[in-house]
Amino acid sequence: MQSFITYRYVLKPGKSRGDYMNWLNINWSELQKLGATSYQLWNSTQDGERVLFCKYTINNIRHWVRQSSRPVMKDIIDPLADCVDIEKSSLKITVIADTLDHTDYSFYS
């Protein structure tokens, strides 16, 4: 089963994709422990806001969800909040089963 988590972030004023990449490079090993194997980034402008999407390929979605609620994640999220508006962030979970069924769980606020 292949899983993806796509985060939608609104960049804070004065922050850039490069700032997010710095955060990602620092925290990539911890995200890999959660089950991330790769990522894709792309930018957009929506309603005048600079939006950054990051899509992670995940080994085991259940493991990711369980592990991402650990208290240590605060040490990862707090620095992320320096470059993105956490209040405007959302995520989308996509699970593709081995039977080629496609289940798309979207959680956009």
Decide: pTM greater than 0.95: no
Provide CATH code, domain 2-107.
3.30.70.100
Q: What is the pLDDT, as a whole number, of residue 101? A: 56
Dig out the tokens for 67 from the structure: 């592990």
Per the DSSP assignment, residues forming a β-bridge with 53 are 8, 42
Query: What gap in Å lies between CA 80 and CA 1, rounded to an integer?
Result: 29
Domain boundaries defined on the chain:
2-107
Averaged pLDDT for residues 61-81: 88
Q: Residues 40, 44, 50, CA angle at the centre, nearest 5°?
A: 110
